[in-house]
A = this chain, B = another copy of it.
Amino acid sequence: MTELYHWFDLIGVAVFAVSGTLIAYDKKMDGFGVVVLATVTAVGGGTLRDLILDVPVFWLHDQSYFVAIFASIFITTRFINKQKSIPYYHLQVADAFGLAFFAVMGAQKALLAGMPATTAIIMGMITGCFGGVIRDVLADNIPMLLKGELYAITCIAGGIVYTQGIAFGIMTEMAMVLAMLTTLILRLAAMKWQLTLHIFKYPD
């Protein structure tokens, strides 16, 4: 079972590495900087989560994450170099998948560390969103997360589904799948219909 979680984690890391590589191309970065940006995007959220939870940072003793990241960068750069265009839509879809995997893995890790549900939900959000925030800050973009479109809240929705599912005693795997689908579907819907939440009324 732990095996399965590890695979989920690797997939999350891989898709975020893809999104970091695409942003690097978009910003005309090159060389090893691309590797750094992809890596920071992929492991940034989980690293911050582990620092705050005060548990060992997940990649310290496990090098498979770096293999996943290098494979992602390799495949993505070959794809871009062939297409010679940045697939913005694919970037956002990759980001949505990463969000869904990481929100759930983050909430789970926090519950396992004995945190209350609210903290677990926030940890899921940090895991899912902050890799992308660091990516956008380094690339000198305003983080996607801070724009009006539903983003962080999709992680929170996934976190609520997961923690409540566990609290109601449904199977862990079932809770994980339901929570991932919640985040993923909400995020894809937000992208498709530009769902936003308005809390400010700007004068026209």
Binding site for B on A (CB under 8 A): 24-25, 27-37, 47, 51-54, 56-57, 59-61, 63, 66, 73, 77, 80-81, 84, 115-116, 118-119, 129, 133, 137-140, 142-143, 145-153, 156, 196-203
Contacts and interface: CB of A to CB of B under 8 A. Distances in A.
Given A51-B52, A52-B51, A201-B81, A196 B153 contact: no
Given A137-B137, A148-B33, A60 B115 contact: yes
Nearest to A140: B142
B77 A116 contact: no
A203 to B, nearest CB: 5
A30 B145 contact: no
A131 to B, nearest CB: 14
Contacts of A84: 201, 203
A200 B81 contact: yes
Contacts of A198: 30-31
Given A139-B142, A140-B140, A202 B115 contact: no
A72 to B, nearest CB: 13
A197 B32 contact: yes
Contacts of A118: 63, 66
Of A24, A129, A145, chain B has the most CB atoms within 10 Å of the CB of A145
Contacts of A115: 60-61
Contact of A116 (B24, B63, B138, B199): B63
Contacts of A196: 30-31
